[in-house]
Amino acid sequence: MSIIKVSTTPFSDQKPGTSGLRKAVTVFKKDHYLENFVQSIFDSLPELKGKTLILGGDGRYYNRQAIQTILKMASANGVGRVLVGCDGILSTPATSCLIRGNNAYGGIILSASHNPGGENGDFGIKYNVTNGGPAPEKVTEAIYQRTLTIEEYFILESADVNLNNQGSFKLGDMDVEVVDSVKPYIELMESLFDFDLIKKMLTGGQFKMCMDSLHAVTGPYAKAIFEQKLGATAGTVINGVPLEDFGGGHPDPNLVYAKELVDILFGDNAPDFGAASDGDGDRNMILGKHFFVNPSDSLAVITANAHLVKGYKDRLAGVARSMPTSAAVDRVAEKLGIDCYETPTGWKFFGNLLDANKATICGEESFGTSSNHIREKDGLWAVLFWLNILAVRQESVEQIVKSHWQTYGRNFYSRHDYEEVATEGANELVNQLRNQFDTLVGKTYGKYTVKYADDFSYTDPVDGSISEKQGVRIGFTDGSRIIFRLSGTGTKGATVRVYLESYEPDTTKQNLDTQEALGDLIQVAEEIAHIKKYTNRDKPTVIT
Ligand code: VG1
Ligand code: CO
């Protein structure tokens, strides 16, 4: 086996977004495209030689081929050892768990998360650092700069390796271990949650649940945890076989793309609890019988009930949420007397807070929640957290959320996405909002008066790094907010996200329909931003 040096030329479009580099499969399949990016990762890690990396992906189309290439390049670049998930499968949280559990130097995750897969779908790659979390901006920026100047990459000339069974072998000078993708993750979950109590609930004959893995990576994890470990009836996990194209669907756990589950939970004979996760297993949607739990509320309920759960019964160090996430959790933090941090969108911004023990639980409105047990968001963790709370409290999901609102007030919250709109219009939408900043403050729209209008900027309290222009915020004197952001994960055109939030302390008004309760604010958003004009759409693609 010999190492070959291949000459290449840079691609100009390899800048990582909110969560790694995501492109259509057809782009990734261009000659040298994947190799350039992987070599740029390796070139940006000066201490890599002899170290251990974790490697795996969500099983989408091109996962296996990419893993073969990356293994051969890792060997040629002097990596000491790679632990790769059996069949090339690792969920994002399981990768984070393995990086930490094996003191690895870092990990490479192959996923485009919730973006569709298959030959005509998307592929993605992201690098995670030693703490198990997504590379911070200074690392992704270094990788990007390298992609702009790269002239060669290194790869081992060798036959493909067999990833179908666990075992160890050499690839050139590098050790490869094909490891159990599921077991270490389950052990971590068992250390945090009361599996006996949850099992009692799931096998007691009263309580029924349904878990939709959307033909993505959590299938094997969910079956092992819910059906095998916790005794839920066979068939509890639906769409549990990972498919290269996710069965043609969007593996995005929301009310639109997880329609099969939503129909089950809102139908006759609905089970008591439903959950779904995304392509790479880091997101979750929680449903009760005929009841949707908004992810911002889920974060608040988890925080308020953390003392009931084994792994979190001691005082929480603090909580953190992304800026567009509703302030429901802020109210819980206030009551608990702990700090609440507000970060830009993207899990990488929680890493420092978790490492410095400033936050224990973190969450995003985009169906992502997790804690300091790893450094990624964790879909099944959130599902188990809810099951543990339900098993302790013996109340329904709806009762738990409604009593939460009674205690803390309700933050009505919704996100309107305009997907795949023209990039030019989307940029103009944001720019004309920026031009209005000075004139907006003090203006009144019905019952709403603008208190501030600005670009959100974040200074990391641990390392002082500054991230600017992280979303346009328009705040009103009563605490309501409208936020506009352009997605950093899409691959076609632009996606405009509009986040709407208003606070309702009056318990008699908390049961309104969300879109109704936010109706006036939705109109104000249109009035200020002219969304229809700039997106050329008369309604959002997805409302959550
Ligand atoms: C979206 C979400 C963000 C999340 C990111 C990655 O980013 O809004 O909260 O962290 O996806 O999640 P954007 O830039 O499209 O709004 V995942 O599950 O795709 O790794
Ligand atoms: Co994801």
Average pLDDT (17-32) is 94
Does 276 share its domain with 415? no
Nearest CA to ligand 1 atom 10: 346
Which atom belonging to ligand 1 lies closest to the Cα atom of 364? Answer: 9
Triad 372, 373, 375: Cα angle to 5° = 65
The pLDDT score that the predictor gives to residue 370 is 98
Domain of residue 286, CATH code = 3.40.120.10
The pLDDT score that the predictor gives to residue 98 is 97
Q: How many domains does the chain have?
A: 3
Nearest CA to ligand 1 atom 13: 487
Nearest CA to ligand 1 atom 11: 489
The ligand whose atoms approach the alpha carbon of 216 most closely is 2
Are 320 and 364 in contact, with CB atoms under 8 Å apart? no
**H/E segment holding residue 397:** helix 397-408
Does 64 share its domain with 158? yes
Tell me the residue ranges of DSSP E strands in 226-283: 237-238, 273-277
Instruction: Using the predicted structure, report yes or no on whether residue 282 has a pLDDT greater than 80.
Output: yes
Does 300 share its domain with 281? yes
Q: How far is the CA of 489 from the centre of ligand 1 (A)?
A: 6
Does 112 share its domain with 164? yes
Which atom belonging to ligand 1 lies closest to the Cα atom of 497? Answer: 16
Q: How far is the CA of 329 from the centre of ligand 1 (A)?
A: 19
Nearest CA to ligand 1 atom 4: 346
Q: Known catalytic residues?
A: 113
The ligand whose atoms approach the alpha carbon of 494 most closely is 1
- pLDDT tens profile 409-436: 999 999 999 999 999 999 999 999 999 9
Helices (H), ranges, 459-538: 514-517, 519-529, 531-535
List the one residue out of 480, 471, 470 whose CA is nearest residue 524. 480
Does 482 share its domain with 391? no
**H/E segment holding residue 3:** strand 3-7
Q: CB within 8 A of 437, min separation 6: which ones?
A: 453, 454
102 to each of 71, 170, 185, 492, how far by Cα in Å? 18, 19, 12, 37
Which of 345, 347, 349, 498, when mutated, tests ligand 1's pocket best, judged by the most ligand atoms within 8 Å of its CB?
Answer: 345
Greatest Cα-to-Cα distance within the chain, rounded to the nearest angstrom: 73
Does 238 share its domain with 313? yes
Structural Rg of the chain based on CA atoms: 23
Instruction: Using the predicted structure, report yes or no on whether residue 404 has a pLDDT greater than 90.
Output: yes
Domain of residue 497, CATH code = 3.30.310.50
Are 494 and 368 in contact, with CB atoms under 8 Å apart? no
Which atom belonging to ligand 1 lies closest to the Cα atom of 112? Answer: 19
Q: How far is the CA of 135 from the centre of ligand 2 (A)?
A: 15
Residues flanking ion ligand 2, Cβ below 5 Å? 113, 278, 280, 282
Which of 214, 489, 495, 541, when mutated, tests ligand 1's pocket best, judged by the most ligand atoms within 8 Å of its CB?
Answer: 489
Q: How far is the CA of 416 from the centre of ligand 1 (A)?
A: 14
Nearest CA to ligand 1 atom 2: 366
The pLDDT score that the predictor gives to residue 157 is 96
Average pLDDT (331-337) is 97
Does 432 share its domain with 321? no
Does 116 share its domain with 217? no
The pLDDT score that the predictor gives to residue 505 is 87
Instruction: Using the predicted structure, report yes or no on whether residue 351 has a pLDDT greater than 90.
Output: yes
Tell me the residue ranges of DSSP E strands in 372-422: 410-421
The pLDDT score that the predictor gives to residue 414 is 96
Domain extent, residue 395, equals 185-408
Pocket of ligand 1 (CB under 6 A): 18-19, 113-114, 278, 282-283, 322, 345-347, 364, 366, 368, 487-489, 497
Does 356 share its domain with 216? yes
List the one residue out of 42, 30, 33, 47 whose CA is nearest residue 75. 42
The pLDDT score that the predictor gives to residue 263 is 97
Q: How far is the CA of 116 from the centre of ligand 2 (A)?
A: 12
The pLDDT score that the predictor gives to residue 326 is 97
The pLDDT score that the predictor gives to residue 103 is 96
Triad 17, 23, 24: Cα angle to 5° = 160
Instruction: Using DSSP, state whether 52 is helix, strand or coil.
Output: strand
Instruction: Using the predicted structure, report yes or no on whether residue 19 has a pLDDT greater than 90.
Output: no
Number of Cβ within 10 Å of residue 446's Cβ equals: 10
Please tell me which residue, 510 or 41, carries the higher pLDDT value: 41
Are 319 and 338 in contact, with CB atoms under 8 Å apart? yes
Does 328 share its domain with 290? yes
- pLDDT tens profile 245-257: 999 988 999 998 9
Which of 15, 18, 125, when mutated, tests ligand 1's pocket best, judged by the most ligand atoms within 8 Å of its CB?
Answer: 18
Number of Cβ within 10 Å of residue 174's Cβ equals: 21
Does 173 share its domain with 253? no
Single-letter code of the amino acid located at 259: K
Task: Give the end of a domain, one of 345, 379, 408.
Answer: 408
Nearest CA to ligand 1 atom 19: 113
List the one residue out of 255, 252, 218, 254 whose CA is nearest residue 236. 218
The pLDDT score that the predictor gives to residue 488 is 82
- pLDDT tens profile 183-207: 999 999 999 999 999 999 999 999 9
Average pLDDT (42-68) is 96
Instruction: Using the predicted structure, report yes or no on whether residue 492 has a pLDDT greater than 90.
Output: no
Residue-by-residue DSSP string for 290-355: TEEE-HHHHHHHHHHTGGGSGGG-SPP-EEEEETTS-THHHHHHHHHT-EEEEE-SSGGGGHHHHH
CA distance 353 to 84: 28
Q: How far is the CA of 115 from the centre of ligand 2 (A)?
A: 9
Which atom belonging to ligand 1 lies closest to the Cα atom of 126? Answer: 20
- pLDDT tens profile 214-232: 999 999 999 999 999 999 9
Average pLDDT (444-451) is 94
The mean pLDDT value of the chain amounts to 96
Does 332 share its domain with 427? no
- pLDDT tens profile 70-122: 999 999 999 999 999 999 999 999 999 999 999 999 999 999 999 999 999 99
Task: Give the end of a domain, one of 150, 181, 212.
Answer: 181
Are 390 and 200 in contact, with CB atoms under 8 Å apart? no
Distance of alpha carbon 128 from its chain centroid, rounded?
14
Task: Give the end of a domain, one of 350, 377, 408.
Answer: 408
Which atom belonging to ligand 1 lies closest to the Cα atom of 488? Answer: 14
The ligand whose atoms approach the alpha carbon of 348 most closely is 1
Which atom belonging to ligand 1 lies closest to the Cα atom of 347? Answer: 10
Nearest CA to ligand 1 atom 3: 346
Single-letter code of the amino acid located at 140: T
Quick check: ipTM above 0.95? Answer: yes
The ligand whose atoms approach the alpha carbon of 280 most closely is 2
